Amino acid sequence: MNLETVVASIRNVPDFPKPGILFKDITTAMKDAEVLKFIADNLYEYYKDKGITKVVGVESRGFVLGSILAYKLNAGFVLLRKPGKLPAETFKIDYDLEYGTDSLEIHKDSIEPDDVVLLHDDLLATGGSANAALSLLNNFTHNGIYVSFLIELGFLNGIDRLKGAKDIHSLIKF
């Protein structure tokens, strides 16, 4: 197993969710146990010595690898969700997407000030949702926030919007 095999396992879906967008579908990678293990193990290796105490997964595809990373890192897992999905008191942030607008919410009691946080999402495109998530998480901790992606679409320069991150790591870059 190697990174080239992982890249080959990701399906390209043209014109989804709207015309002109080439969607990177990771479900074809996740369904293969060996590919999933390779991805999880490689992300874990990068973060294992950083003292992470909470992993925050962005709805919804960030939940899969985020929860695996939390387990492997012996850290708690926190959900960053679309509005109205969390039952207790939340912080909320609105942001622009490359094809519309959206919002994210997090429980107000999910992260302590001394937590070391890893924010994980499946893909970095223009950086809208990642920047919003980073801004939201900065309300909780002063330890800096690590940011992790399975895929980065480098040609969209989304990483430029994440100046406040302690460290940004993408396993795959297109």
Where in the sequence numbering do the catalytic residues fall? 61, 98
Cα dihedral 40→158→117→73 (10° resolution): 10
What is the distance between the alpha carbons of residues 87 and 84, in angstroms, rounded to a whole number? 8
Tell me the C-alpha distance between 123 and 155, whole Å.
Answer: 13
**β-bridge pairing 100-107 and 117-124:** unpaired
Residue 81: CA atoms inside 13 Å, Cβ hemisphere, count? Answer: 15
Q: How far apart are CA 76 and CA 91, in angstroms?
A: 19
Question: What are the C-alpha distances in Å from 140 to residues 128, 129, 136?
Answer: 20, 18, 8
Task: Write out the two tokens for 119.
Answer: 């924010």
Q: How far apart are CA 12 and CA 28, in angstroms?
A: 10
Tokens of 27: 């479900």
Give the H/E segment covering residue 159: none
